[in-house]
Structure formats: C-alpha cells, structure tokens
Structure 1
C-alpha cells in the first residue's frame, strides 16, 4: 500500500500502540520485521501511522508480539481502515493541527473528564464567551481566524447532543466562574448556559470553591479523554501558546486519573454546584 500522507491522530495512535506491543515483547524493528515476514521500512511506517492496516494484520502483529489482551486487540483492530473524513478535516488548512486532532480524539472517545481553574470548558462555552476569549489571544488573531476557531469550537460541542451523547464530567474552579470575559452580560449568559447544560443527563458539572483544601492543581487545564479500553485513554494539556499536548504513556494516564479523582473529592456535589452557580448569576 502507498504511504499515508499526513496521518491523523488516530492513525498515529494505532501505530504508537503497536510499537508499545513490540517493545513490550522485547523485539527490535529488525526482529519484528523478520518475525512478520516484512521489511523494516514497513514496520517503521506502521508505527508512525504512515501505513494503512487491516484488522487481520493488526491481530497478526498482536499475536506475533504475544499480546493476550483480547479487549485491547479488538480495540486496536477497530482503529484500522481508511481515513475517516469527519467534519474536522475541513479545518486542517485553517487551524493548528493539534486543534483538529483534538476534535477527532473527542469524536472517537467514550467519555470526557475535564478540569479547569481559569476558563470555562470549551464544550460548555457560549458563542459570545468563546468569541471574547479568542479576541483576547496574544498576538491578536485576525477576524477570519477568530471565526474559524469559533465555528470549530461550536461544532466540537455536538458530541454532547448527538443521538448517543458523550458522558461528560467537568470540574470547574470558582475562579473560572468569576472571570468576567466579555463583560457582565456575556458572563451572565455563560453562567446561565452552565446551569442549562448541567441538567443534561450526560453532563456533570462540579465546582471547586475557593475554600477547598488540598486542591491538587498548578492551574493548568487538562482533558482526560477515555478510549474504548483504558490503554487507549489520552490526556490533553492546554499550552500557553494555545496548542494541545497529548499524553498517553501508562504512567501518565495513571497519574492524571488519580489527580482527577483527588480533584473530585474537593468539589461540591452536582446539586450544590448548581445552587452555587445560580447564586453567582444573581450577583451579576
């Protein structure tokens, strides 16, 4: 098969997971190629996501690497096939690759857990609030860049409203709720939107008040994106330059799961969080 140009995040992740299986089996690329009956270049292209694979080929590689985890093998097999052209592909020429990859990652996820200290979660933002944030970016974005980012963000929110809506849990610090991006009217509308979203059966919003003790955070926002099996989970970190960093090493996933669990222990309950937000609206 011809090499895949500009592999998607999903294709790169499949290759990375196959590399992990190879390394866990103690095979070098040369040894793996000999075991599979292919050349070294083919193995390298597979592991960088630049070579298309069939489900049967993935199973053959997993067997060669002595992987006995059937759930993982099934999940990896489901990641094969031709590149899916989702709605996010239309933004590849207009937005940083990481933002497009994030939309793809969310689309294929089975659940999202997010934690934010300064900002409202992107999937819970109103159009007016998001526009105010994009206008504050340094260096300034051009108007057409703002519109591209805005429509991309609003389309991402569709996963919370589709036929099978994504389970979504957000931990929001009180400081984020009190930020007045866009002015009082925009802030009031944003808080009201949070209250509406918290009523959805798939959405949980929990507030960390200023008085919380032992809050385990440095202020960095992150998303924990759940895959079909825990090994395929991904942590997405916001960066100061507006991009996205993706982590998927087992030790990193374990750490961030623990951090989220600890954070949740510092939050108000869902019902009390709604009352808390409602009181903030009344104060505006």
Structure 2
C-alpha cells in the first residue's frame, strides 16, 4: 500500500504534475534536488505524494523546470485549495489512521464496490445498526466516541448521495437473519435496504442461502474504490478482524479483487430481484 498520510486527492494530482513537469524538462531527480539543496530522495517523496507540498519548494522546482510565472501561480492556487482540510476534519480524532488516509479517495470516488459475507455493507447501514456494531466491536472506545463514529458514517453516506456516487453492494442473505441490536433494529435496517434499492445510484445484490458457493464465499469484507482521475489508482480494502485492514493500490492486486467481485456479481440474483424474506422475530 502507498499511504497518503491523510493527504488529499488534490495533493496526489499535484505531486504527479510535478513529476511530469520534471520529466518534460529532461531533468533527473538528482538535478531537481540540487535546486533545493536536498537529496534526490526528497524529490521522489514529493512526486509520490509521500510528503506535504511546500509552496516555497514548489516554486523553486517549477522555476527549475522552466514553468512560466502564470503556470507557477496556477499551481500554487491549486496547492492552497488542496491544503484546505477535508469535510471530515472535525471527526479526525475518532477516525482510525488508515481510514483517514482513505477518506479523500472515498470522497472522490465515482464508483464504490463493496462486499460483506455476514453483515450489511457499511455504506448501507442505518445509524442504529451501525451503533449496535460499534458497541460490540469497539467496546474499547468511550460511548461518546462510538456515537461520533456513527455520526461520521452518516455524514459519509449523505455526501456520497449528494455526489450521486454509484454504490454497488454484494452481501449474503445470512446477514439479513443475523440479529444486530435486536428485532426493531433489524426491521429498520431491512426497510432501509428496500428503500435504498429504489435509488438509481444504488445496486444491491443478495446471494441467497440456497445459492451455490461463489468467488467471494468465505472471503472477508472488501471495498473497491474507483476514482476517475488519471493520477489516482483504484484502491481495494480487505477487512481484518484484528489489526489493520489490508489496503492496496497496485494494479495487479486491485484487478485480482475486481475480478472476484465481477464473478460473484455474475453469480448473484439480478439487482431487480426482490430482497429475500427474513425471519426476524417480532
């Protein structure tokens, strides 16, 4: 995984632009570093988006690359905009570090594909369902922190809806029979799923209990992010019951998981199929 340390998608785009300008000027990283009085490793980190972009350093580099004053001013304007904290900034104290790294990618995604074998996928969860899971899985956190984490999830869902980000979710019917937070919570969650599938940007496929095994059977939860920006690779996140989730943005790994999702989707009932009936007790 290439960590972005909380930096925005805009930073990654600007970093890639610096590399293109250097290469266009026919300069090596060593030659670019000489302009800053730094090591070539500094230029590599700047171009890979592994460090913050300093306006002073950027100006020196762009001048070295032969950029015009207008081009430099335009770049610095973009950098100033990229330095504005993301909308999620107020929740950063309750976010996991890996989540903070990915939030800008999620917010810029055009398509988010997600799979969960035993639970309702995160981006389709109701607040009460999500809170019940927080109480079980994050009992190490304070009640206030768990409430704020659910509030963050609600905000994520609302902003993705405003952007009309396409969400393509796959899940198992067993998740609809697994009691999370009690019967009332489950009824609310199932009603929310019925409402979600009426939205044009939501695709939900549910593998029935009677269906044969498929490509994602026994695979832990997955989320794949697609950003329509050339400089930003697709990302895939594989959940972990303990420790940090696995996160990749290399083409080989992402393609492998996308292929699994494609196969599982092809084996699932058509999205227009009604949700399976459930047996949640009254």
TM-score in terms of structure 1 length: 0.75
Please show how residues 105-254 of structure 1 align to structure 2 within 5 Å.
105-137=105-137, 139-162=139-162, 164-217=163-216, 218-229=218-229, 232-241=233-242, 243-254=244-255
- Flag structure 1 segments of 5+ consecutive residues without an equivalent: 62-78
> Matched residue of 2:275: which SS?
helix
| 1:50 Cα offset (Å) | 2.5
Query: Does the CA contact (< 8 Å) of 1:169 and 1:205 recur in 2?
Result: yes
Change (3 A) 1:158 1:193: same
| 1:155 Cα offset (Å) | 0.7
Query: Does the CA contact (< 8 Å) of 1:235 and 1:256 recur in 2?
Result: yes
Query: Does the CA contact (< 8 Å) of 1:118 and 1:219 recur in 2?
Result: no
Alignment partner, residue 52 of structure 2: 50
Q: Which has the higher contact order (CA 8 A, sep 6+)?
A: 2
Alignment partner, residue 258 of structure 2: 257
Q: Which moved more, 1:190-199 or 1:136-145?
A: 136-145
Alignment partner, residue 90 of structure 1: 90
| 1:283 Cα offset (Å) | 7.4
Query: Does the CA contact (< 8 Å) of 2:6 and 2:102 recur in 1?
Result: no
| 1:93 Cα offset (Å) | 2.3
| 1:237 Cα offset (Å) | 2.0
Match among 255, 258, 280 for residue 278 of structure 2: 280
Change (3 A) 1:17 1:250: farther
How many residues align? The count is 251
Query: Does the CA contact (< 8 Å) of 2:235 and 2:254 recur in 1?
Result: yes
Change (3 A) 1:281 1:229: farther
TM-score in terms of structure 2 length: 0.76
Whole-Å separation in 1 of the counterparts to 2:18 and 2:173: 42
Whole-Å separation in 2 of the counterparts to 1:87 and 1:268: 37
**RMSD between superposed Cα atoms in Å:** 3.5
Whole-Å separation in 2 of the counterparts to 1:244 and 1:95: 14
Change (3 A) 1:87 1:7: closer
Please show how residues 24-35 of structure 1 align to structure 2 within 5 Å.
31-34=28-31
Alignment partner, residue 70 of structure 2: none
| 1:9 Cα offset (Å) | 5.6
Whole-Å separation in 2 of the counterparts to 1:259 and 1:19: 35
Change (3 A) 1:13 1:266: farther
Larger-gyration structure (1/2): 2
> Matched residue of 2:203: which SS?
strand
| 1:257 Cα offset (Å) | 1.2
- Flag structure 2 segments of 5+ consecutive residues without an equivalent: 66-77
